[in-house]
């Protein structure tokens, strides 16, 4: 760690490791912060660079030393990696050995048959492009971003194995794979000698698909997991307590993952009831949602997104109360099932 070199832009807080819990990731030597910062939204070319840099600095000061990227994060595609690379060059480079950086490839990135999927050609080419955009020598974790039914799973896993053996990444992961394909991936990578470090699925109170088999596989196989969208893209915050705000993500026509059609009165009622329970716990709704995700023993870390520093701080404050009583968990389940 370099701490004595002067840096006019940024000097990391000396207290950065005092309050953040770090959890062992599967059976590896790696420990992840309970919260990681995702750069899916708000770090693209269309977003203010100063705000992105400020959020990255504040996150690191709070002990979040894992930053999650993908080749197509932006918009436009690739620009979140470029933004992160610029911040690394400007101010975070002295701390590179303290920082975990992950990226992924799998979804649509460039035209033609080799710009999407799980082929060896796509994954390795994309990894090389992502390294150039970030200016890094290697990624700490590189993921297959999604299962590709048109490519043999053996080829996809062999590509990940090669990415590690060639020095492009230290560990490999998969994202959004089914329980069956996860188990197959584990066996293939085990035979290749590059163990599967981690799985990255979506998980929140409104999206509990991993409880239907995937968490059992991860626990049985001792594989870590880092979940994304713990706040259901903002639904599990105070933003929607009075309906759909005009400038919210759900109200923006260009957003394809969350729209007004996904948010009926029934869901808004559940959000209100969950908020009342959070208040009884002296937490914001977002803090309770983060704590609930982290209470699952299969979850190593939760990836939070943010558009401003205060949202990062609010999520980190959730770590002050991660314990749920049996009655609270029962109440949450009853609300969600109503």
pLDDT tens digits, one per residue of 222-254: 999 999 999 999 999 998 887 666 665 554 444
CB 194 within 8 A of CB 165: yes
Strand 31-33 to 22-24 pairing? antiparallel
According to the model, what pLDDT value does residue 124 have?
Answer: 98
Nearest to 228 by CA among 198, 249, 195: 198
According to the model, what pLDDT value does residue 5 have?
Answer: 54
According to the model, what pLDDT value does residue 100 have?
Answer: 98
- What count of other Cβ atoms lies within 10 Å of the Cβ of residue 330? 11
Parts of the chain with a pLDDT under 50: 1-4, 251-256
CB 181 within 8 A of CB 153: yes
Which burial class, exposed, middle or buried, applies to 200 when counting CB atoms under 10 A from its CB (0-12, 13-18, 19+)? buried
According to the model, what pLDDT value does residue 256 have?
Answer: 45
Nearest to 20 by CA among 324, 317, 278, 323: 317
According to the model, what pLDDT value does residue 1 have?
Answer: 46
For residue range 191-213, what is the model confidence (pLDDT) as tens digits? 999 999 999 999 999 999 999 99
Which burial class, exposed, middle or buried, applies to 63 when counting CB atoms under 10 A from its CB (0-12, 13-18, 19+)? buried
């Amino acid at each position: 760690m370099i701490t004595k070199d002067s840096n006019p832009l940024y000097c990391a807080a000396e207290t950065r490791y005092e309050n953040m819990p770090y959890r062992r990731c599967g059976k590896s030597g790696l420990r992840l912060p309970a919260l990681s910062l995702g750069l899916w939204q708000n770090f693209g070319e269309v977003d203010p660079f100063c705000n992105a840099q400020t959020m990255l600095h504040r996150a690191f000061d709070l002990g979040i030393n894992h930053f999650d990227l993908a080749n197509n994060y932006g918009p436009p595609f690739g620009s979140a990696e470029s933004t992160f690379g610029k911040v690394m060059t400007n101010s975070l480079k002295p701390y590179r050995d303290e920082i975990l950086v992950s990226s992924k490839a799998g979804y649509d990135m460039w035209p033609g048959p080799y710009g999407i999927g799980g082929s060896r050609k796509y994954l390795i080419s994309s990894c090389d492009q992502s390294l150039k955009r970030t200016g890094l020598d290697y990624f700490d974790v590189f993921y297959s971003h999604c299962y590709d039914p048109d490519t043999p799973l053996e080829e996809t896993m062999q590509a990940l194995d090669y990415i590690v053996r060639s020095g492009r990444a230290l560990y490999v992961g998969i994202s959004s794979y089914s329980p069956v394909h996860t188990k197959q991936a584990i066996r293939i990578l085990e035979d290749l000698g590059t163990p599967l470090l981690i799985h990255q699925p979506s998980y929140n109170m409104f999206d509990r698909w991993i409880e239907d088999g995937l968490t059992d596989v991860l626990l049985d196989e001792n594989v870590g997991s880092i979940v994304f969208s713990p706040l259901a893209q903002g639904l599990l915050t105070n933003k929607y307590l009075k309906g759909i705000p005009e400038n919210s993500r759900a109200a923006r026509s260009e957003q394809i993952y969350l729209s007004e059609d996904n948010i009926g009165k029934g869901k808004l009622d559940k959000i209100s009831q969950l908020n009342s329970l959070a208040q009884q716990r002296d937490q914001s709704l977002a803090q309770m949602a983060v704590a609930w995700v982290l209470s699952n023993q299969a979850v190593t870390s939760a990836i939070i997104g943010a558009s401003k520093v205060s949202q990062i701080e609010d999520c980190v404050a959730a770590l002050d109360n991660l314990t749920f009583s049996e009655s609270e968990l029962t109440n949450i389940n009853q609300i969600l099932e109503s």
